[in-house]
A and B are shown apart, each in its own frame.
Chain A
């Protein structure tokens, strides 16, 4: 009797397991109903209504195998993505006056289960931040016509770097303010055995420093719009690029998915911070063979203005476009 019961149990269990596997297989091949609830908000957490949501849910491996996503958010900034899906959901969220954001779920069919023809969990909630576009256009940025990496003029000595001019301080460059101090060392035995270091110090300016942030890769504005002035600003950083004889690598730097929000050029009154300038340095920022590589950055020349909304995307989309429009307008005027 025991044997029969055990066998019945095993067979039932096996059938259930097989049915589950089959359902999952079918869902990955032919799709199951997916539901994802988006709430689109701005930086302040306020809902963004009428934002366009456009994209698709994958339904197979061939062309046209997708369920379109197309609509706008309601007054609460909410939009529900619903439809048949095999593995991937992606859409753009756009609205005039905001930076584009992306909503992306990859490997859906492998990170979800299926019950009654529906992917589980069903109806997950997601908050999408759509960042407002201010484009104050007043921030100082590196001049790529002159620099994309900076040759290191001296080793084993502190060097001043001007974050507004994005250059070494005089006499090594055109900088006037020692906004940050940098100290480089190098030793290279061969192309595969070396040690390069870069010490970063804001200690020459009281209350100056920086904090590290992860870039927001889902938005066209990868950084914050405003520096958080209440954040803890760290005054020193140590970066190293090393590979030893055993092939062990130590690579510590501000990597390409990070950025530093800095505060510098401070003035102090009665022991309290009076004025400061803010900006950001975008990774990768690291020492190299004979140069310092710095991806990008910006400096707000207005004291106590914490706006750091700038950088590549803004410059290359909005500002270039505005320039283009301006030129076209001038041309039109000339032609008339």
Chain B
């Protein structure tokens, strides 16, 4: 069991989820330690079996990106953008765009988005900005695993998505239901719902569970019109023209002040911080979809359960984020049986 400080908070345990981007940063920073640990614990790479849950997959993928090889890698409820393992999944279609690109930006050429800033520089290996993008960030990582298994759940509330970019309270409040035990009413507040989509789409624009730099914020400045200072930012027409002639590299359209997004000499630590806090993913998480194409296993179906121990007012009998451990073994043993079989751990 490998654990790390992945639940940053300064407001108390009740608000852990509000610092998700900081948690991503800490996960990325921890990859090297996991690599060192596994290599010392098991020198033969083919014998290494790596299992990670949720954001632990960020640690695992970063460890493999840095060179850790494993025989088998099991991803559970992976809180990693699918575009990180398959770049073609970034902004793959209109539905994805509707879910992950705020309407303010929909008329702006995608090359002007913070999410694609890295593409202007990724031909130059010495330019740190070229490494500040999620597409294919972990593609070499997965190549270092003999076999990769993705156990995802289409019923995972953390990864549930609205059809359009959500607000802070989207999906949080549901109609209350009456119950037969105290307090006789279930308020059905689900603060965790849609967390993934929110933490990506709120980068740069939302102080609660988001960040206020980079991301989907606009680079703004003031100009004096008459005697009044007026806030200015590039219009879509201006931005698209800058994309066409390449001059956008001198004038980012997104909010980059106070970040290292435009520093070609940024350190590895800055790159991780930028990815975690300022560069939005434009794709669903691996933990919510069949991202790999092979060995994708939907936990939310009937295969991995035998009966179910919970009838939730909001999520019915969904397989929730941590049900592989939270739900009694009595109900989820088919999953564990399969893991023993696929991991050849008997």
Which positions in A face B, CB cutoff 8 Å? Answer: 56, 58, 61-64, 66, 144-145, 148-149, 151, 188, 190-192, 194, 196, 241-243, 247, 249, 251, 256, 282, 284, 288-289, 293-296, 311-312, 316, 320
Task: Say which residue of B175, B290, B293, B303 sits within 8 Å of A194 (CB atoms).
Answer: B293
25 cross-chain CB contacts under 8 A = A56-B175, A58-B175, A63-B173, A63-B175, A64-B175, A66-B175, A144-B306, A144-B334, A145-B306, A148-B334, A148-B335, A148-B338, A149-B303, A191-B142, A191-B145, A191-B292, A191-B294, A192-B292, A241-B293, A251-B290, A251-B293, A256-B301, A282-B302, A293-B297, A316-B308
- Give Cα distance in the complex from A312 to B295, angstroms: 23
Output the residue of B88, B148, B294, B303 with the most chain A CB within 10 A: B294
Instruction: Name B307's closest neighbour in chain A (CB-CB).
Output: A316
Contact of B304 among A61, A148, A320 (CB under 8 A): A148
A320/B293 in contact, CB under 8 A: no
Q: Does the CB pair B338–A312 fall under 8 Å?
A: no
Q: Please tell me if the beta carbons of A149 and B338 are within 8 angstroms of each other in the complex.
A: yes
**Which B-chain residue is minimally distant from A296 (CB atoms)?**
B302
Report Cα–Cα, A192/B145, bound state, in Å.
11
Binding site for A on B (CB under 8 A): 85-88, 139, 142-143, 145, 147-148, 154, 169, 173, 175-176, 187, 189, 290, 292-295, 297-298, 301-304, 306-308, 334-335, 337-338, 341
A320 touches B303 (CB 8 A): no
Q: Is the CB of A62 within 8 A of B302?
A: no
Determine if A64 and B148 form an interchain contact, defined as CB atoms under 8 angstroms apart: no
Cα-based distance from A145 to B329 in the complex (angstroms): 13
How far in angstroms is the closest Cβ of chain B from A37?
22
Assess whether B295 is in contact with A288, with CB atoms less than 8 Å apart. Answer: yes
A279 → chain B closest CB, angstroms: 16
Cα–Cα, bound, A145→B139 (Å) = 36
Q: Which residues of B contact A191 (CB under 8 A)?
A: 142-143, 145, 147-148, 292, 294
Complex-state Cα separation, A19 to B128, whole angstroms:
53
In the assembled complex, the Cα of A116 lies from the Cα of B243 at a distance in Å of: 48
Known: A148-B303, A256-B301. A61 touches B148 (CB 8 A): no
Cα-based distance from A311 to B308 in the complex (angstroms): 14
- Shortest Cβ gap from B201 to chain A (Å): 18
The 6 A-B residue pairs with the shortest CB-CB distance, nearest first, are A312-B302, A247-B88, A148-B303, A148-B334, A243-B293, A296-B302
Contact of B307 with A320 in the complex, beta carbons under 8 Å? yes
Report yes or no: B293 in contact with A62, Cβ–Cβ below 8 A. no
Report how far A148 CA is from B339 CA in the complex, Å.
Answer: 11
Which residues on A sit within 8 Å (CB–CB) of B187? 63
Which A residues lie within 8 Å of B85 (CB)?
192
Name which residue of chain A comes closest to B163, CB basis: A107
> Known contacts A56-B175, A148-B334: does B294 contact A288 (CB below 8 Å)?
yes
> Which of A61, A148, A151, A296 has its CB near the most chain B CB atoms (within 10 A)?
A148
Once bound together, how far apart are the Cα atoms of A293 and B302, in whole Å? 12
Give Cα A289–Cα B292 distance, bound, in whole angstroms: 12
* Given A288-B294, A289-B294, 20 more pairs with CB closer than 8 A: A61-B173, A62-B173, A63-B173, A148-B304, A148-B335, A148-B337, A188-B294, A191-B143, A191-B147, A191-B148, A192-B85, A192-B86, A192-B293, A242-B293, A247-B88, A282-B302, A293-B297, A293-B303, A295-B303, A311-B302
List A contacts of B142 (CB < 8 A). 191-192
What is the minimal beta-carbon distance from A7 to any residue of chain B, in angstroms? 29
Specify which chain A residues have a CB less than 8 angstroms from the CB of B341 in the assembled complex.
151
Chain B residues whose CB sits within 8 angstroms of the CB of A241 once the complex forms? 293-294
A242 to B301, CA, bound (A): 22
Nearest-neighbour CB distance to chain A for B315, whole angstroms, equals: 14
Measured between alpha carbons, how far is A294 from B301 in the docked complex, in Å? Answer: 10
Contacts of B175 in A (CB 8 A): 56, 58, 63-64, 66
A289 and B86 contacting across the interface, CB-CB below 8 Å = no
CB distance from B286 to the nearest CB of A (A): 13
* Residues of the B chain whose Cβ atoms lie less than 8 Å from the Cβ of A247: 86-88
Q: In the complex, how many angstroms separate the beta carbon of A121 from the nearest chain B beta carbon? A: 22
CB distance from B169 to the nearest CB of A (A): 7
Contact of B301 among A66, A188, A194, A295 (CB under 8 A): A295
B295: which of A58, A249, A289 is its contact (CB, 8 Å)?
A289
Query: Which A residues touch B301, using CB under 8 A?
Result: 256, 284, 295-296
Closest to A242 in B: B293
- Contact check, A64 vs B176: say whether CB atoms are below 8 A apart: yes
